[in-house]
Chain A
Amino acid sequence: MSGQKPHPSPSGEGPGVGQSKTVSHSPTPTPPLKGRGYSKHWPLWVVLVLIALALVLPALLPWTYDQIDWDAVRAPAFSGSHIFGTDEIGRDRLARLAAGTRVTLMVAIAAALVSLVVGIAWGATAGWVGGKVDEAMMRFVDALYALPFMFIVILLMVIFGRSILLVFVGIGLVEWLTMARVVRGQVMALKERPFILAAEAAGTPPLTIILKHVLPNIAGVALAYLMLTVPQVVMVESFLSFLGLGVQEPLTSLGILVKEGADDMDMTPLGLLLPGGLLVLLLVCLTIEGERLRDIYS
């Protein structure tokens, strides 16, 4: 409870004479991203360029992802209009890559957004109300964590048949759990902060406090975890597709492309290397950027 100013530690930075006019304050809020060079955020740019390509390419290419070129089955790269060649039944590889990336990212972003909404609602309620309610809500989260997720998804698929909706449900079922835990922790820490108490003393109703004071201040952390959820969902979706439980043919995703490539890799290694490499590049870039955001906010 005593006054603690920011202070140099033996290993830390010294006090800047110029800067310390403003009392700096460490926890959660608002360190802006601006003022950093674009080059530092190259992973973000890589992702954005890939997304742009995935959106634009299908319109530019002469082939669609499910169109079969009977004259060029298993064509090598740079043969005619097929820049990366064709697969074992003559579909243009580049077109399929673009379509697969689109589907994968769409599933990932949608599932991440679902996890964001559910996670924030659940976590913020538990953290704000506290006590027995919090206890019950978080034990429920723990219980879901403990379920063998893959087993459940496979069961769902077997019972209800394959559909992209079930992929969403399955992924959404687990991905909001981490978000709920993170948000709950943040809300609990914020709840006792003086500015929240001051808002209470100012007569601000609880719901308004949550919407106007709490949520804006956890937005940064939530965004960071959202960024980290996307690559996780990409992984899960690709894994399900690889097992043959994800998206239905002829619609494709990166996971399906990797599987097809792996089946045919002794004939045309390009079929595995291209989607595999793309998947790795996406995952690495998203994770780097997400972890960077998380480090800034927490």
Chain B
Amino acid sequence: MSLYEIRDMAIQIDGKRLVEGVNISVEAGKCTAIIGASGSGKSLSCLTPFGLTPGEALGSIKLDGIELIGADAHQMHKARSRLTGFVFQQPLTALTPHLTIGAQLQEAAAQAGPSRLSRHELVQKLERVGLSRADERLDQFPHRLSGGERQRVMIAAAIAHRPKLLIADEPTSALDASLRGEIMALLDELRAEQGLAMLLVSHDLASVEGHSDDLIVMDQGRVVESGSTADIIANPQEDYTKRLMAATPRLTEPAPDLPAVGNMLMETEAVTVIFPRPGWRRGKIEAVVDASLTLSEGEAVAIVGGSGSGKSTLGRAIAGIGPLTSGTINWQGEVLPERRARSLAMRRLIQPVFQDPVASLDPQWRVSDIVAEPLKNLRPDLLRADRDGMVEKALDDVGLGAEYLERVPTSLSGGQAQRVAIARAIIAGPQLLVLDEATSALDPLVGSSILQLLAQLQRANGLTIIFITHDIASARRLCHRIVVLDEGRIVEMGDMAAVIEHPNADTTKRLIAAS
């Protein structure tokens, strides 16, 4: 019998059924993964059996022989605290800020019994999850640790009381791409070593592949497909799974057919961006150092790197919406000055699209005003009627009908909001789009449709694109060339296919491994 077995579970909140007909079984030492878009009910299915959501679970849920449905408070507490460990998505908020790492671990371990662990044992636990200088870490507060380190502490705390089941709810989604592989490898290792059963939740097929034995695909509160991970990936049965597979960019898929590249369009020479260090300490942060790159007409260049590598800062400097300390940006022989000095004609050339689609639209404005904003400033020659016509056409170009004109951003889904942001970017007829992680915050299916839209616009309008991302696989669907940044410096640059095949820099290798 499986360690953790869910039979025919339904979940309702306030009498509304949100999840139905879910069967999950996890055996000791094995990993079952649940994937699905946001709102598919995957997290709900994982957390509700333990009373961690407002929902109510119906059906049968057995953990180590204990029936959780209808269990009394004592049994429930035992199931939650002794038998189960939890790792959540946000390592930054999941640790209590005013407790030292040692205190957090001690608290977690106390779930198993009243005996306190010695300092030596705590050090061992931190070392087990691959944290360096463990002894020193015990006395530090969570804010001193980086995201990856905090997630390691979370994992150490989750397994400190030797649970039998580990529930990992998107454990790597908030982490830097190059760290994801390491954290997943650590979880695999611990699972094998301690015979843990693991339930892994993810929105991303690529991140569970190779780490889970069984796979459950959920959509809109229902299980679409379940079975062994290898089988499903090799031979998906259901339409939804097939679409999800197709939407997940892979490095192994055939190279895309990209449009031809024209003459030189833009060239940056030794672009450097330096920020003063915040607070009382004197000093500077070198966000981008000596970045020189070229861009031709109709070309798409990927700027990739981990978080804090300066890729967004470089993109913003080019787009004229961020500071530029030194260096020049040449646009067909003309120098583009820094931020506030740019003329309207220069603004018209380059338009940005941002990562968080909802935050990039003013919540107080209507879609029609948002899309028309660049036209009002950059094309003052247009009459109002022409402008309205162009707004409708731009929305049509990004696949949204006229019924969206009167909507407000809060009533749009992430994908729709990103389409509106793209419509705003293309309406004034720019030559270069700077896409800053434009697909990273979206679900795989939505993200891939946005990528498709971009590829279509690239072809139809002869757009040049700078595609800033941490995900090489999705960049490959759109880009001719790749520029790899690490700590503000360009460490590798070249043809997309060539770099993927023979990466030189360590950063590139890590990013490729994570894709």
Q: Which positions in A face B, CB cutoff 8 Å? A: 1-5, 7-11, 13-25, 29-30, 193-195, 197-205, 213, 216-217
Contacts and interface: CB of A to CB of B under 8 A. Distances in A.
30 contacts: A3-B355, A3-B437, A7-B169, A8-B43, A9-B90, A10-B86, A13-B53, A14-B53, A14-B54, A14-B55, A17-B19, A17-B44, A17-B221, A21-B39, A25-B359, A29-B363, A30-B410, A194-B356, A195-B361, A198-B354, A198-B425, A201-B319, A201-B321, A201-B352, A201-B374, A203-B347, A203-B374, A203-B378, A204-B373, A213-B364
A155 to B, nearest CB: 36
Contacts of B357: 23
B47 A197 contact: no
Contact of A3 (B40, B425, B441): B441
B88 A17 contact: no
Contacts of B176: 2
Interface of B: 13, 16, 18-19, 38-41, 43-44, 47-48, 52-55, 86, 88-90, 93-94, 169-170, 173-177, 220-221, 307-308, 312, 316, 319-322, 344, 347-348, 350-352, 354-364, 373-374, 376-378, 410-414, 417, 421, 424-425, 428, 437, 440-442, 470
Contacts of A198: 352, 354, 360, 373, 421, 424-425
A10 B52 contact: yes
Contacts of B470: 2
Nearest to B362: A195
Nearest to B48: A14
4 residue pairs, one from A and one from B, having the closest CB atoms: A14-B53, A203-B377, A194-B360, A20-B39
Contacts of A4: 89-90, 173-174, 441
Nearest to B321: A197
A194 B43 CA distance: 29
A5 B413 contact: no
A29 B410 CA distance: 10
Contacts of A17: 18-19, 39-41, 44, 220-221
Contacts of B55: 14
Contacts of B89: 4, 7
Q: By CB atoms of chain A within 10 A, which of B53, B177, B373, B425 has the most?
A: B373
A41 B173 CA distance: 41
Q: By CB atoms of chain B within 10 A, which of A5, A193, A197 has the most?
A: A5
Contacts of A200: 320-321
Contact of B412 (A19, A22, A199): A22
A17 B48 CA distance: 13
Nearest to A22: B413
Contacts of A203: 344, 347-348, 374, 377-378
A168 B173 CA distance: 55
A1 B355 contact: yes
A23 B412 CA distance: 8
A5 B347 contact: no
Contact of A23 (B93, B94, B221, B358): B358
A23 B421 CA distance: 14
Given A3-B355, A22-B414, 17 more contacts: A3-B356, A4-B90, A4-B173, A7-B90, A7-B169, A8-B169, A9-B94, A13-B54, A18-B39, A22-B413, A194-B354, A195-B361, A195-B362, A201-B320, A202-B347, A202-B378, A204-B373
